[in-house]
Amino acid sequence: MAQIIVKNIRKEFGAFTAVQSSSFTIEDGEFFMLLGPSGCGKTTTLRMIAGLELPTSGEIFINGEEVSQKPASQRDIAFVFQMFALYPHMNVRKNISYPLVSQGMPRDQVRAKVAEVAQILGITDILDKPVGGLSGGDRQRVALGRAIVRDPACFLMDEPLGALDAEFRERMAEELRALHDRMGATTVYVTHDQLEAMQMGDKIVVMNHGVVEQFGRPQDIYDWPATTFVARFIGSPAMNLLSFDGMVGHGTSSVTLGEAAIDIPPMIGGADGRLTLGVRPEHVHLDDAAAFRARILAAEYLGTTQIVTLDSAHGQIKARIGSHVPVRIGDTTGLRFDARSISLFAASGHALISEANQKVLSHG
């Protein structure tokens, strides 16, 4: 059981900076997601927590102890590799018992422990098989078995479902989450799949180009993205981003896009120049009376809802509305936004603090 604090860690490979000054805190027992597009430094961050890579600078605390320069074997962590990395010259039982043998545990105790883990994972019947012939799912379970057999302080998993096919991923994801809930061990999980992160995680760190863009609970990140990158990366379809020229200051509660005045949550921060208004598709409503005009380009039917794509003077907008609402392609209509759920971003891409998002963004 462990709390992990990552403080300003930075990793350079020669002239290339893979991770720039990242900080976040993983509480004891959390299922923590490291989320970001390919190449953003997720694996590098995880490997630094594991001790497989030493940070160029910064600190990592596991249970209050600074470990950033300690070898992996002394950190009491388990790592599940994307490619599983099962020892090919050993059978399933040997693979799972390997970490215990290194601790010098007596043989009958090892046997009992392996049997227990195999029971939990449902792999008792394949214990004496070589790992070479196993299916992807079984390999995944063996890799997990090797991780949990030691009761480590925390689990680090690098896209553990990445090598599985789509159908199986979902099932393993559920198994993983259930396993975590049962064992309650801190888990750090790397993924580039925002849906997976939202579904499984207690907390999420969103990274881009080696920078932590946002850190928080999935719901908070979804509702109040800290940057336009997060707004675009999370949610499908992504948040609508409409750029406009304007000025906001403390207490501003409305902005003007073209002719239309749009109500926004009362602002606390201020900015001027090129601004961006962000609104989630489910907070966009078709309303002929509204001043903000857009032309319907397409409608995608999704059962109870539909995604309507519209073209406005400020860019394309997607709206998620009930599928009972009739839409005619080519028509021009008005759009109304839920005032309480709107975010504003400065030209730098950072969200402006409003009364609505201040709670999420000020401590994030």
Partner 1 sequence: MSSYSITEPSVRQKWIAGILVVGYAILTLIPLIWIIATGFKTPSDAIAYPPKVLFSPSLEGYVNLFTSRTRLAPEDLAALGEPTTWYDRIVRGYDMVITGPSRYGERFMNSVVIGFGSTFLSVFLGTIAAYAFSRFKVPLKDDLLFFILSTRMMPPIAVAIPIFLMYRELGLNDTQLGMILLYTAVNLSLSVWLLKGFIDEIPVEYEEAALIDGYTRFQAFYKVVLPQAATGIASTAIFCLIFAWNEYAFAALLTSGTAQTAPPFIPTIIGAGGKDWPAVAAGATLFLVPIMVFTILLRKHLLRGITFGAVRK
Which residues here bind partner 1, judged by CB under 8 A? 50-52, 71-73, 77-79, 81, 83-89, 98-99, 102-103, 131-133, 136, 139, 146, 150, 163
Nearer to partner 1, 159 or 220 (CB): 159
CA–CA distance from 304 to each of 70, 260, 325, 364 (Å)?
Answer: 54, 30, 11, 35
- Count of positions on this chain that bind ligand ATP (CB under 6 A): 12
- Contact between 38 and ligand ATP by CB under 6 A: the answer reads yes
| Separation of alpha carbons 17 and 292, rounded Å | 43
Question: Which stretch in 42-50, 213-221, 231-239, 325-333 sits in contact with ligand ATP by CB under 6 A?
Answer: 42-50
Torsion angle, alpha carbons of 269, 270, 273, 277, to 10: 50
- Residue 164 C-alpha from the chain's centroid: 19
d(CA 137, CA 356): 44
Residues 208 and 36: beta-carbon distance below 8 Å: yes
Peptide bond into 106 cis (omega under 30): no
Instruction: Choose the contact partner of 268 out of Mg ion, ligand ATP, partner 1, none; CB within 5 to 8 A by kind.
Output: none
Q: Does 16 interact with ligand ATP (rule: CB under 6 A)?
A: yes
Q: Is 192 in the site for ligand ATP (CB under 6 A)?
A: yes
18 touches ligand ATP by CB under 6 A = yes
* 191: number of Cβ within 10 Å: 23
Q: Which is nearer to partner 1, 15 or 289 (CB)?
A: 15
3-state secondary structure of 51: coil
Distance (Å, rounded) from C-alpha 281 to C-alpha 138? 40
Contact 32, 55 (CB under 8 A): no
Q: Should residue 191 be labelled a site residue for Mg ion when binding is judged by CB under 5 A?
A: no
Judged by CB, which is closer to partner 1: 142, or 294? 142
Minimum distance of Mg ion from residue 106's CB (angstroms): 38
The interface with Mg ion within residues 25-84 (CB under 5 A) comprises 43
Nearer to partner 1 among residue 81 and residue 244 (C-beta): 81
| Shortest separation between residue 135's beta carbon and Mg ion, angstroms | 23
Shortest distance, CB of residue 279 to Mg ion, whole angstroms? Answer: 32
* Residue partners of 13: CB distance under 8 A and separation at least 6: none
Q: Which two tokens stand for residue 82?
A: 């994307």
Nearer to ligand ATP, 83 or 347 (CB): 83
Spatial distance between the Cα atoms of 57 and 10, rounded to a whole number of angstroms: 5
Scanning 31-39, 56-64, 176-184, 283-291 for contacts with ligand ATP by CB under 6 A, the matching segment is 31-39
Question: Binds 38, which of Mg ion, partner 1, ligand ATP, none (CB < 5 to 8 A, cut-off by type)?
Answer: ligand ATP
End-to-end Cα distance, the chain: 23
CB of 17 to ligand ATP, least distance (A): 8
Q: How far is the CB of 124 from ligand ATP (least distance, A)?
A: 33
Q: Which does 16 bind (CB under 5 to 8 A by kind): ligand ATP, Mg ion, partner 1, none?
A: ligand ATP
Residue 224 to residue 343: CA distance in whole angstroms = 7
* Alpha-carbon span 197 to 194, nearest angstrom: 5
Half-sphere exposure of 237 toward its Cβ, with a 13 Å CA cutoff?
Answer: 24
104 vs 326, beta carbon nearer partner 1: 104
Residues forming the site for Mg ion (CB under 5 A): 43
Residues forming the site for ligand ATP (CB under 6 A): 13, 16, 18, 36, 38-44, 192
